[in-house]
Structure 1
Amino acid sequence: MPLGDNLGDKIDSRYCGVETEFNDDMPHVLSHNLNGGFDFVVAPLMEPRYRPSLINSATRDSSVLPFAASDLVLSPSQWSGHVVGKISSWIDLDSEDDVLREDSEITLKQELAWASHLSLQACLLPTPKGKSCGNYARCVNQILQNLNNMQLWLRIPLDKSDDDDAAAGSSDGMLVDPTDSWELWNSFHVLCERHSQLSIAVDVLSSLPSVNSLARWFGEPVKAAFVHTDSFLTNARGYPCLSRHHQKLLSLFFYYSIQIVLSGNAMHQHSGGTTPSGDKLTDNHAQHAQKHGLRAYLEYVSYLYQKMEPLSEQEQFEIGYRDFLQSPLQPLMDNLEAQTYETFEKDSVKYIQYQRAVSKALVDRISDENASTQTVVLMVVGAGRGPLVRASLQAAEETGRKLKVYAVEKNPNAVVTLHSLVKLEGWENIVTIISGDMRSWDAPEKADILVSELLGSFGDNELSPECLDGAQRFLKPDGISIPSSYTSFIQPVTTSKLYNDVKLHNDLLHFETAYVVKLHRLAKLSPTQSVFNFTHPNYSPNKSNQRYKKLRFEIPKETGSTIVHGFAGYFDAILYKEVHLGIEPTTATPNMFSWFPIFFPLRSPVYVKAGSPLDFHIWRCCGNTKVWYEWCVTSPTTSPVHNSNGRSYWVGL
């Protein structure tokens, strides 16, 4: 029974599971827990007392393994849809005891083979024991090479010591810092070549690490969170509840589609009279509460889920784009399609900001006394299907200024729509449509105001500098450019999802491409820093649109060690004076969806030790026919320079 429907989308975290003990009556285990309100069980597959070495060697090959049940006792859909296999917790593949190590390796392979036979969607691997996980990871990696679509969840306690003197860990994947469970996961992950079918199931304990330390996990492939009953407090009515820190953490799990699994025995005495929110229980709820010992805990998790704010209209629009890699648009080289225009035109916030900017520019350009006698010449360069023309004319009406508009557009298909719009609105005497490239058009007169929307996710990545440099020749010396300036920003991120998606292509080209993506499952490791700035008009005699920036990012020591998979890029633009729009996280224009961030991947993820700096270099390079970016890391390790000479990714002039 899903936790609720309040979020507006069908995320996986709507489904809550429960960890069970070994039981050879799987139909009873499943029916008892599903009837109790849970959606799936995490159940042991093998009798816990089984050891291969205890079986007589002469009969070992013919023995029947003590699995929980035959594959026939449940239907294939029940096994696949409601059971997560739990690998025996006693196994220790890095034990110094040779017999235990060999038993562990044999059992791991047997249980995962059985889970694969049952077509389970996931199996829970026990937490590595001790400081070394090399042999455990080697065996898991061998299995991953030939595994079907099943996910392996490595169980990791959500733990990090705040002791500044703790060992810092090792990036070689063998010895790990015992005070930081992220180090344990990272070592195992590296040894398994960061395989996309290896994920994490975190154990949520009664004490939690710092907020900074927790944040880095959301860029990792966390699939489930085991919340232990001893992590719960008791409210005034005797019901289980969680601390504010735990509540906030569960809200993040819900947001990032991480499934909750309740674990442990009931620790609270409670009546069947009320729910955790204080409402009366229905007879049906009370009946389930009596049947299942963890029902009160499930009710509380459901209560937290339903307390979450519903997704906004913008978030609902963006759901389908979350963590989906898209190649940036090339509107100068390619003609956009009608569907692309339509999507951008729906962003009313953007055009409201443009209208505000034009209104202020008109008022500054023409005084109230001259408003009825003087006409402002305004040119929209890259007019598309006309939304900026409309915004400019609305600004003129709002301010009582007279306007003459030139709409310049190179896409002949969009020009058809422009002509239709002008005729429909009766703008024939106000708007002149120019079908051609702004860089080669000879304007019949100079403009007072030049308006464009050539900005990309990184500000300059759709060649706004080159286009506006070419167009400013028909702007009056004291003319106004809207936008007047824009700045790009960048920050390091952990995003295992995007890294694996790029890695799937198995080539250099995709690791040297910058992508537009609605970032979702990621950890932002350091505040953004500004990169490139462009101002318009630019009358400098030695102007160049080539740029280079070196940035040093300081990752807080309390965060702990991290992995950098790449860099997220944003922009902020000043349209006119105080009117701005942008997507830089700290100043982002609310409810605007025209731009998603840009993502610059790294060919090899960079391990950054706790408290160490990260040095990043980025270049904007210009040639005769293209513009491209190159980027690299030089500290704490050195990466290759990505996209040298624009060999993989460029924007065509």
Structure 2
Amino acid sequence: MPLGQRPGDKSDARYCGVEVLDFPAGEDLPAVLNHSLASAFDFILVPLVDPNYRPAPGSVLPVSASDLILGPAQWSNHVVGKISEWIDLDSEDERLRLDSELTLKQEIAWASHVSLQACVLPAPRRSFCGNYARVVNQILQGLTNMHLWLRLPLEKSEPMDDDLDKIKNNSHTSEIVDSWELWNSFRLLCDHSSQLCVALDILSTLPSINSLARWFGEPVRAAILQTEAFLTNAKGYPCLSKRHQSLLTGFFKHSVQVIISGRSNHNVFPVSEGVLSGDESYAEDSRVRHALTPYLEYIAYLYRKMDPLPEQERIEINYRDFLQSPLQPLMDNLEAQTYETFEKDVVKYTQYRRAVAKALVDRVADDAVSTTRTVLMVVGAGRGPLVRASLQAAEETGRKLKVYAVEKILTLLLLFIV
């Protein structure tokens, strides 16, 4: 169930998921999914394979459930796969590196088979992750629709003054952890694949404002909000600090989905903890609220209290962060719908009007207004927005203006005749 109805917002930010911390084997997966959906979560982030599995001759991949236990729409719309966290493709142990590569490829193949839209990759275990990136890049070459989200902690350790002095004196090396730098190195090695995205772990502490701002220009698809990041308000319910609230609001504006992760630290009502872990002992009852429902309700509150999208943003939201194919207006006759889209760019035509007004004032002095007429040609006039902007500029400045509209499409010229 979406977090709320915000006029004009049709992005993925409306949806909130929950991370299943333990491995739900066999029949537990449908129960965990159904309980999460009944509790108003939209999807689950769930391990695909038993975390105790290690490749061995003749062994079979111990997947969480048969591909038939859920319908195709459930796999595709409500499940995000979580790759085994023990994987370490840059380990010094050769056996572990080989096992990790084999397991990663097997799990991605299984996720692709059940038509998952995305899988979350574990965070690199060290700053140099060349082999990890090599294998992921190889996998990306064979994917069609599925995306891979690299999980990274949202952190940047800032050196203290003493550390800065030591670094300057070269007497001590202090490694600065910067998850953005790690992401930048990883995606460069993966050739900037459009199917490689980011899932950020939001912890109780946040880096500086400048460090956070860099992430708004990256393909962040999910913000995994840890329950430890929540504070407790006067009534005992979970809430977030002002900085965390501001960060989430920014992510909402960039179509980032929230995934709640962790154990409940706010027992404000009886819950079934077994649902999160896949414990078979819990009683399946739709009246039992999910352990993380209070956190979901708070996230929904933050989403709903955001200001409605301005009309201009509603128009632009579907074109954000996408490279548009260049049009060929000299070769092709553009459709009316294309012109309609262009003309909704209010800023563009406002700036044109102001530029023409300044040019007219600069060209024609006040004492020559009644005797001087400026000639303006709009080449490629389309449906006439630049012509109208120019005439408005002439009216505002009190200058005389004669406009020639040049257009190759005859049907558009009828607009000027009418």
The normalised TM-score by structure 2 is 0.80
Q: Equivalent residue for 2:12? A: 12
Question: Partners in 1 of 2:142 and 2:335 — Cα distance?
Answer: 45
Q: Report how far residue 309 of structure 1 moved.
A: 1.4
1:420 maps to what in 2?
A: 417
Look up the match of 2:171: none
Contact 1:358 1:392 in 2 (8 A): no
Distance verdict in 2 for CA 1:254–1:419, change over 3 Å: closer
Q: How does 1:224-263 map to 2 (within 5 A)?
A: 224-263=222-261
1:536-561 Cα deviation digits (max 9, x unpaired): xxxxxxxxxxxxxxxxxxxxxxxxxx
241-250 or 316-325: bigger deviation: 316-325
Matches of 1:290 and 1:17, distance apart in 2:
18
Give me the whole-angstrom Cα distance separating, in 2, the residues matched to 1:343 and 1:79. Answer: 36
Q: Is the 8 A contact 1:92 1:104 kept in 2?
A: yes
What is the CA-CA distance between 1:319 and the residue it aligns to?
Answer: 2.2
**Take 1:398 and 1:91, find their aligned partners in 2: how far apart are those partners?**
67
In the alignment, the residues of structure 2 paired with residue 210 and residue 218 of structure 1 have an alpha-carbon distance, to the nearest angstrom, of 14
Shifted more, 218-227 versus 183-192: the winner is 183-192
Preserved CA contact (<8 Å) 2:378 2:386: no
Report how far residue 376 of structure 1 moved.
4.5
Matches within 5 A, 1:629-640: none
Greater fraction of residues in helix: 2
- 1:173 counterpart residue number: none
Q: Deviations over 1:264-304 (max 9, x none)?
A: 000113259xxxxxxxxxxxxxx979520100000011111
CA distance in structure 2 between the aligned counterparts of 1:99 and 1:391, rounded to whole angstroms = 69
Aligned to 2:81, the other structure's residue is in SS state: strand
- Give the secondary-structure state (helix, strand or coil) at the position aligned to 2:119: strand
Shift of 1:233: 0.4
* 2: CA distance, partners of 1:330 / 1:230: 53
Q: Note closer, same or farther for the CA distance 1:338–1:236 as it changes in structure 2 (3 Å cut).
A: same
2: distance between equivalents of 1:192 and 1:34?
Answer: 35
In structure 2, runs of 5+ residues without a counterpart are: 168-173, 271-284
How far is the alpha carbon of 1:7 from its aligned partner? 4.6
Residue 396 of structure 1: CA displacement? Answer: 7.1
**1:555 equivalent in structure 2:** none
Match of 1:27 among 1, 23, 30: 30
1:126 aligned residue (122, 131, 138): 122
Q: Which amino acid aligns with 1:31?
A: N
Change in Cα spacing, 1:192 to 1:391, as seen in structure 2 (3 Å) is closer
Q: CA deviation at 1:259?
A: 1.1
Where 1:201 maps in the other structure, the secondary structure is strand
1:188-203 pair list within 5 angstroms: 188-203=186-201
Q: How does 1:176-215 map onto structure 2 within 5 Å? A: 179-215=177-213
Counting only pairs closer than 5 Å after superposition, residues 600-639 of structure 1 correspond to structure 2 as none
- Mapping of 1:473-488 within 5 angstroms? none
Amino acid across the alignment from 1:102: L
Identity value in percent: 57
Q: Look up the equivalent residue of 1:68 and give its one-letter code.
A: S
Cα shift at 1:419: 5.5
After TM superposition, list the pairs within 5 Å mapping 1:76-475 onto structure 2.
76-163=72-159, 165=163, 179-270=177-268, 290-326=288-324, 339=336, 350=349, 354=353, 357=357, 361=361, 365-366=365-366, 374-382=370-378, 384=381, 405-411=401-407, 413=410, 416-417=413-414, 420-421=417-418
Paired position in structure 2 for 1:52: 55
Q: Secondary structure at the match of 2:192?
A: coil
Structure-1 residue corresponding to 2:67: 71
Amino acid at match of 1:45: L
Separation in structure 2 between the aligned mates of residue 73 and residue 135 of structure 1, nearest angstrom: 35
8 Å contact kept, 1:206–1:232: yes
The answer to whether the Cα contact below 8 Å between 2:154 and 2:206 also exists between their aligned partners in 1 is: yes
Counting matched residue pairs gives: 385
Return the offset for 1:357.
Answer: 3.3
More strand, by proportion: 1
| Distance in 2 between residues matched to 1:393 and 1:192, nearest whole Å | 51
Report the CA distance shift for 1:420/1:338 in structure 2 as closer, same or farther (over 3 A): farther
Shift of 1:134: 2.5
Q: 1:114 is paired with a residue of what secondary structure?
A: helix
Counterpart for residue 40 of structure 1: 43
Cα distance between partner residues in 2 of 1:346 and 1:181: 39
Question: Residues of 2 paired with 1:77 and 1:194: CA distance?
Answer: 30
Aligned partner of residue 194 in structure 1, secondary structure: coil
Give the C-alpha shift of residue 126 in structure 1. Answer: 1.1
Give the whole-Å Cα distance in 2 for the aligned partners of 1:99 and 1:386: 69
Query: Per-residue deviation at 1:194?
Result: 2.8
Q: Output the amino acid matched with 1:354.
A: R
Deviation at 1:153, TM superposition (A): 1.2
Partner of 2:152: helix, strand, or coil?
strand
Larger-gyration structure (1/2): 1
Shift, 1:77, TM fit: 1.1
Shift of the 395–376 alpha-carbon distance from structure 1 to 2, 3 Å rule, reads: farther
Equivalent residue of 1:144, what SS? helix
Q: Distance in 1 between matches of 2:117 and 2:335?
A: 40
- Once the two structures are TM-superposed, the CA of residue 209 in structure 1 deviates from its matched residue by 0.7
Paired with 1:192 and 1:392, the residues of 2 have a C-alpha distance of 48
The runs of 5 or more residues in structure 1 that have no matched partner are 54-59, 169-175, 273-286, 422-653
> 1:162: Cα distance to partner?
1.3
Tell me which of the two structures has the higher relative contact order, counting C-alpha pairs closer than 8 angstroms and 6 or more residues apart: 2
Give the TM-score normalised by structure 1.
0.53
Mapped contact 1:351–1:387 kept (Cα < 8 A): no
Paired residues of 1:123 and 1:151 also in contact (CA < 8 A): yes
Q: Distance in 2 between the 1:393 and 1:184 partners?
A: 53
Quick one: distance in 1 between partners of 2:15 and 2:113? 24
Alpha-carbon distance between aligned partners in 2 of 1:375 and 1:253, rounded to the nearest angstrom? 57
Q: Which amino acid aligns with 1:309?
A: D
Contact 1:380 1:389 in 2 (8 A): no
> C-alpha distance in 1, partners of 2:386/2:140?
53
Shift of 1:258: 1.2
